[in-house]
Amino acid sequence: MSYLFTSESVSEGHPDKVADQISDALLDHFLAFDPDSKVACETLVTTGQVVLAGEVRSDTYLDVQQIAREVINKIGYTKGEYQFSGDSCGVISLIHEQSQEINQGVDRGKKEEQGAGDQGMMFGYATNETENYMPLALDISHKILQVLADLRREGTEIDYLRPDAKAQVTIEYSDENVPVRIDTIVVSTQHDPFDADDDKMLAQIKKDVVGILIPKVKAQLPEKIQALFDDDITYHINPTGKFVIGGPHGDTGLTGRKIIVDTYGGKGAHGGGAFSGKDPSKVDRSAAYAARHVAKNLVAAGVADEVLVQVSYAIGVVEPTSIFIDTYGTAKVDLTDGEIARRVRELFDMRPFAIEERLKLRNPIYLESAAYGHMGKTPQVVKKVYESPYNGRVEKEVELFTWEKLDRVDEVKKAFKL
């Protein structure tokens, strides 16, 4: 019997994502001026206020208030009527120095002996149902909101959009776990006040979402995915009605509250640790990226159609305590999942410092990951410039989304005789 599976995404203007982006902007600035910085930054945003907290050990000093304001303005919170804007909000910093008791378990005489920054388990996942090896429902949800943000910034085809938004996509699957059709699409978008009555307002928003937004999203997808869009899709557009009050004025936002949006939309598994604001010594982040890198290369190499990778650590300990593989019965090799896991352990060095080096994680590469998912994006090399009244100007060429590279496929094929 066929079944339904749903994933959601949230826009860059969603309060929790505003918080994530501020935390990662702070992290990037610390790493730009001092690559050895140890950072764990949390952000809270609410009506007219931003609170920064956390622990930092760094040789650099930053104007954290100004960095937060720049992020907020770039997202689009620039108007007084939003009750939250980068130019007028208050910014309170409660950031303090990292505990030496934590640091002594991480830093060692030899960098390759660096211990894990925390205990815990991290997961990576990949599936061949999309070209970027991401779950389809989440991939479409992200694209809906990215296109919606483009339309908001352009302001020509739809001129009433505000930054806060959410999307949700439900896919119908066959008994063979193959996507058959899109069953339901939910879009809730913040908007300017309308002069018309509420019914006319909602009718206009639905007309624009279905007639302008969705065709643009569909055009970005491969033909086989476009075929899943039919005339029987159920649309819920702003189902609660008016959505003028939004963003941090409508809801308090916190760093790390969208961990499922950030990863696989409910597919696979999650260890519970958030990403944003954490430097790569925190395995919550770096090992999750490394596990995605492993899973994606395994699926791309043809080891299985779908792979879940779990890795676990003890704080201050160099070697992972376990590596687990689940292929959900889709393995294409004559090996058990346990045997695949042992081979993965031989192929991929999962010690914290090895992960940092392999994926080039001690660079200012994190702000771009803080909205529309940390996984599934295209690796690229960009030049970034950071300026500070205390540290001068730094220009760096960095590689984004290294954990998405298919750079180990040939090695995996050789190891698994594919």
Annotated binding residue at 251?
Answer: yes
- Reduced to 3 DSSP states, what percent helix, strand and coil does the chain have, rounded to the nearest 5? 35, 25, 40
Question: For 88-129, how does the pLDDT look when each residue is reduced to its tens digit (9 = 90+)?
Answer: 999 999 998 865 545 555 655 566 667 787 889 999 999 999
Annotated binding residue at 269?
Answer: no
For 378, how many CA atoms within 13 A lie in the half-sphere containing its CB? 4
* Nearest in space to 89 (alpha carbons), one of 70, 74, 69, 71: 69
Q: Is the pLDDT of residue 36 over 60?
A: yes
Question: For 366-383, how does the pLDDT look when each residue is reduced to its tens digit (9 = 90+)?
Answer: 999 999 999 999 999 999
What span, in angstroms and rounded, lies between the C-alpha atoms of 89 and 206? 32
Which amino acid is present at 268? Answer: G
Q: Which CATH number fits the domain 3-9+135-246, given the four candidates 3.30.300.10, 3.40.50.1100, 3.40.30.10, 1.10.10.10?
A: 3.30.300.10
335 DSSP 8-state letter: S
pLDDT band at 389 (very low <50, low <70, confident <90, very high): confident
Question: For 45-81, how does the pLDDT look when each residue is reduced to its tens digit (9 = 90+)?
Answer: 999 999 999 999 999 999 999 999 999 999 999 998 9
Which amino acid is present at 141? Answer: S
Annotated binding residue at 257?
Answer: yes
Query: String of b and e for 178-217 (b: at least 16 CB within 10 Å)?
Result: ebebbbebbbbbbbeeeeeeeeebbeebeebbeeebbeeb
Strand partners, 56: 39, 97
Identify the weakest region by mean pLDDT among 89-93, 168-172, 316-320: 316-320
pLDDT of amino acid 390: 84
Annotated binding residue at 42?
Answer: yes
Q: Is the pLDDT of residue 178 over 90?
A: yes
Annotated binding residue at 123?
Answer: no
pLDDT of amino acid 98: 67
Annotated binding residue at 396?
Answer: no
Annotated binding residue at 243?
Answer: yes
Annotated binding residue at 40?
Answer: no
pLDDT of amino acid 147: 98
What span, in angstroms and rounded, lies between the C-alpha atoms of 267 and 134? 9
Annotated binding residue at 314?
Answer: no
pLDDT of amino acid 97: 81
Q: Is the pLDDT of residue 14 over 60?
A: yes
Return the SS3 of 69: helix
On the question of a common fold for 3-9+135-246 and 120-127+280-415, the answer reads: yes
How would CATH label the architecture of 120-127+280-415? 2-Layer Sandwich (3.30)
Q: How many helices (H) and strands (E) does the chain have?
A: 13, 13
* Nearest in space to 235 (alpha carbons), one of 258, 261, 203: 203
Annotated binding residue at 224?
Answer: no
Angstrom CA distances, 252 to 19, 249, 255, 256, 354, stand at 9, 7, 10, 13, 37
Annotated binding residue at 98?
Answer: yes
Annotated binding residue at 164?
Answer: yes
Annotated binding residue at 353?
Answer: no
Q: What integer best gives the mean pLDDT of the chain?
A: 94
Domain residue limits, the chain? 3-9+135-246, 120-127+280-415
* Mean pLDDT confidence for 221-239: 96
What pairing do the DSSP bridges indicate for beta strands 90-97 and 49-57? Answer: parallel
Q: Are 165 and 11 in contact (CB under 8 A)?
A: yes
Q: Are 187 and 148 in contact (CB under 8 A)?
A: yes
Helix (H) or strand (E) holding 300: helix 283-301
pLDDT of amino acid 376: 97
Q: Is the pLDDT of residue 360 over 90?
A: yes
What percent of the chain has pLDDT above 70?
A: 96
Q: What are phi and psi of 290, to 5 degrees?
A: -65, -40
